[in-house]
Amino acid sequence: MSSLEGKHIVLGISGGIAAYKSVTLLRLLRKAGAEVQVVITPHGKEFITPVTLSSLSGKPVVSEFFTANTGEWHSHVDLGLWADALVIAPATASTLAKMAHGVADNMLITTYLSAKAQVFAAPAMDLDMFAHPTTQRNLRQLREDGVIIIEPASGELASGLTGKGRMEEPEGIFAVLEAYFSTDKPLKGKKILITAGPTYENLDPVRFIGNYSSGKMGFALASQAAKAGAEVTIVAGPVEQPTPSGAVRRIDVTGAREMLAACESVFADADAAIFCAAVADYRPAECCDVKIKRESREEMTLRLTRNPDIAATLSGHKRDGQITVGFALETDHEMENACAKAARKNLDWIVLNSLRDPEAGFRKDTNKVTVIEAATGAGHPFEAKPKEEVARDILKTVFRL
């Protein structure tokens, strides 16, 4: 049985091309046994007809404050109280802005302001609109207000451009809702920061120093933590990984200093941080504004300067109860070195993977780890497995699930 069986879902639809995907979402919700009340904005009706939506939901679609011919008032307060969840998909830039500022000029926003239940919003817009500081500011505000933002994916957009702004697929939104209502969520209420991928340290506008980290392990941790009910922020270096569905917020960064700044902004509010990124230890002492010329030189010396240690910096000022986890890739005296590293960086746990192991390491889909508790030095060894399963083992051990 689906966790959505019998749940009251208000499905808010605003005016974006992605509104056609809301029909699939509505069908998935109904099939799972949820009762769905559609609230559509005036612009939403230009993209999809209320007749389709009312036939599929089995309820008249609400859009106006009053029914035109009878003058019957639609109570957004009642709707707000009826809902077990309010899902706004697609959430356009305009709807997000109205939500963030309480501009209650349509039924969807009045319902949002009256809702006592958890609100989810799935943004959908062009890449430039999504990246605009205004939209990003509104999204930050909404997150602060407790709205779970279902991140858009990168891909082809209605405009023909390609980038981030494409609404999460209906199946992904459905999975987020199903996970939300599932009772099997041992990490519910926990906020977890995860770093992932490599960092690129720029030499000039076209060259960098980097490494082969794929980000797979960090993204697997983010995906599994979200599935277990956590609210995840993943701070990712340059990687090709898709953002996992669920309550996962992604901050993309390039260099180590940028990664540290992004982590600093999230860490204070986090219950735990898992430092999975392969951060470059050094960066070029100078970054040239223009492309460095080869000219006639046979040799070239690069001067490097130390990068901040993100794990050590943040763990250095963790508060009581905050858990930090690091990774160690060792080639010799593995347990000893890993424990020393955990102590040096003030980590509570350290995940050891050995380069000697053919099933562990960069770009692989499998990993073989030992999860070590810093306080006792006790190691929990695991078999080689796919990174998604390794992620589950790590979370189970660290959070004692």
Which position has the token pair 């959908």? 124
Please pick, from the candidates 87, 89, 236, 277, the single residue that binds ligand C5P as defined by CB under 6 A: 277
Please pick, from the candidates 311, 371, 374, 394, the single residue that binds ligand C5P as defined by CB under 6 A: 311
Q: How many residues does the chain have?
A: 401
- Among 50-58, 118-126, 265-273, 320-328, the segment contacting ligand C5P (CB under 6 A): 320-328
Say whether 84 sits in a helix, a strand or coil: coil
Q: H or E stretch including 61? A: none
**Could you give the residue ranges of the DSSP H alpha helices within 91-215?**
93-101, 107-114, 127-131, 133-144, 170-181
* Active-site entry in 106, 138, 211, 337: 211
Q: Take residue 133 and report the two structure tokens written for it.
A: 């500081």
- Among 29-37, 208-216, 224-232, 325-333, the segment contacting ligand C5P (CB under 6 A): 325-333
For position 327 contacting ligand C5P by CB under 6 A, the verdict is yes
User: Per CB under 6 A, which of residues 174..213 are in contact with ligand C5P?
Assistant: 195
- Among 125-133, 176-184, 269-277, 388-396, the segment contacting ligand C5P (CB under 6 A): 269-277
Of 357, 317, 353, the C-alpha closest to 338 is: 353
Q: Is 211 a catalytic residue?
A: yes
**Could you give the residue ranges of the DSSP H alpha helices within 317-374?**
334-344
* CB 373 to ligand C5P: min, Å: 15
Q: How many CB atoms lie within 10 A of CB 66?
A: 10
Q: Take residue 184 and report the two structure tokens written for it.
A: 């099997």
Cβ proximity to ligand C5P, 57 vs 199, nearer residue: 199
List beta partners, residue 11. 38, 87
* CB 272 to ligand C5P: min, Å: 13
User: Per CB under 6 A, which of residues 333..372 are in contact with ligand C5P?
Assistant: 341
Q: How many residues bind ligand C5P (CB under 6 A)?
A: 15
Cβ(218)–Cβ(232) below 8 Å: no
* CB 267 to ligand C5P: min, Å: 12
Which position has the token pair 């922020």? 233
Triad 211, 233, 366: Cα angle to 5°: 50
For position 279 contacting ligand C5P by CB under 6 A, the verdict is yes
Cβ proximity to ligand C5P, 95 vs 195, nearer residue: 195
Q: H or E stretch including 119? A: strand 118-123
Please pick, from the candidates 11, 85, 236, 256, the single residue that binds ligand C5P as defined by CB under 6 A: 256
Applying CB under 6 A, which residues contact ligand C5P?
195, 256, 275-277, 279, 281, 307, 309-311, 326-328, 341
As annotated, the active-site residues are 211
